[in-house]
Structure 1
Amino acid sequence: MIQAETERLLLSKITLKEASFFVELMNTPSFLKYVGDRYIKSQKDAREHIKNRFLKSYNTYGFGYYKLTLREQPNIPIGVVGILKREVMEHPDVGFALLPQYEKQGYGYEASVEMLKWAKEKFKIRRILAITDPDNGKSIKLLEKLGLTFEKRINPFDEDKELLLFAKDL
């Protein structure tokens, strides 16, 4: 079911039907490099991830990640955008990921603008965060274009690598 529309995109809640798409998305070179290996190697893995992460978030917080499709191809997922409330972070954070063939076309920005609007108007979120790998220049550039500013380096997941924390008051 379509939750929102932008000039070129449709945003819909993620369902278990998107399992094969998530196997593809979460194993792209940039996802593995900048987000990390989530060990989603089969449709079964993807369905478990969708249930335990995305569907749980909708039920717990009313928001989560949303599937992106092009208006002219509404049955072909191209990426995700969303808001996630992580236990290790004080405020919700915005995130996005696109299949490589849809990067550098403004879809991430267009979808994220809609997400920030939702965060403020629909979900009454007053401060939004974002975390990214320090080497992910494309993500950093997009976060800055969205008006988020760098605050500090953090290690929220007790991993070997620190992440950059960006924030914006809505």
Structure 2
Amino acid sequence: MTVLETERLALREVEEADAPFVLELLNSPGFLENIGDRGVRTEDEARVYIVERIIGSYREHGFGMWLTVQKLDNTAVGLAGLVRREGLDMPDVGYAFAQRAWGQGYAQEAAAAVLAHAREALGIPKLAAITTLENFASMAVLRKVGFTYQGTIQLPGVDRESTHFTAP
């Protein structure tokens, strides 16, 4: 089910059939460096991750990470959406894109759409976002779509500090 669209992207619910792409993305160097290792190494593990973590979030919170596809050819390029994260008192805007999609403005386009959807469709007044301390590209995206830097934060279960942003 398509949740929202931008000029170039469609964000839809992730399905078990998306396991090959999710496996590729979760094990890409950029994901491992900037987000972390989810321990997903096979398509079967990717399906479990999708059902338990992503679809589970849809059921529990009414939102989650959505598969982000190019409208032109329906090619999956990333994940973007909202996450309920321990240690944050508001939903967190998150995104991750396949390296082949970097530098095309997709992160900014998707993040802006997720932010607008959270406010307008879901009625969420305030959102958070986090990045690694070294992920300057993601920090720039967050600032461009209206987030303000709040400082650093140590989240439970994360082995390093993160930058913390909020958007009113």
Establish whether TM, by shorter chain, passes 0.5: yes
Q: Structure 1's 159 and 112: CA in aligned 2 closer, same or farther, altered over 3 A?
A: closer
1:165 matched to 2:164: yes
Structure 1 stretches lacking a partner, 5+ long: none
- 1:111-130 aligned at under 5 Å gives the runs 111-130=110-129
Q: Which amino acid aligns with 1:45?
A: E
The TM-score normalised by the length of structure 2 is 0.96
Match of 2:133 in 1: 134
Match of 1:14 in 2: 14
Q: Tell me how far 1:87 sits from its aligned partner.
A: 3.2
CA contact (8 A) 2:81 2:93 kept: yes
Structure 2 stretches lacking a partner, 5+ long: none
CA root-mean-square deviation: 1.0
Identity within the alignment, %: 35
Q: Which amino acid aligns with 2:19?
A: A
Q: Distance in 2 between matches of 1:16 and 1:88?
A: 29
Provide the secondary structure at the position in 1 that maps to 2:133: coil
Provide the secondary structure at the position in 2 that maps to 1:142: helix
Match of 2:84 in 1: 85
What is the aligned residue count?
168
Match of 1:26 in 2: 26
Provide the secondary structure at the position in 1 that maps to 2:110: helix
Q: Distance in 2 between matches of 1:62 and 1:159?
A: 24
Provide the secondary structure at the position in 2 that maps to 1:36: coil
Q: Distance in 2 between matches of 1:151 and 1:162?
A: 13
CA contact (8 A) 2:86 2:155 kept: no
Q: Distance in 1 between matches of 2:34 and 2:154?
A: 14
Provide the secondary structure at the position in 2 that maps to 1:156: coil
The TM-score normalised by the length of structure 1 is 0.95
**Higher deviation after alignment, 101-110 or 152-161:** 152-161
CA contact (8 A) 2:65 2:80 kept: yes
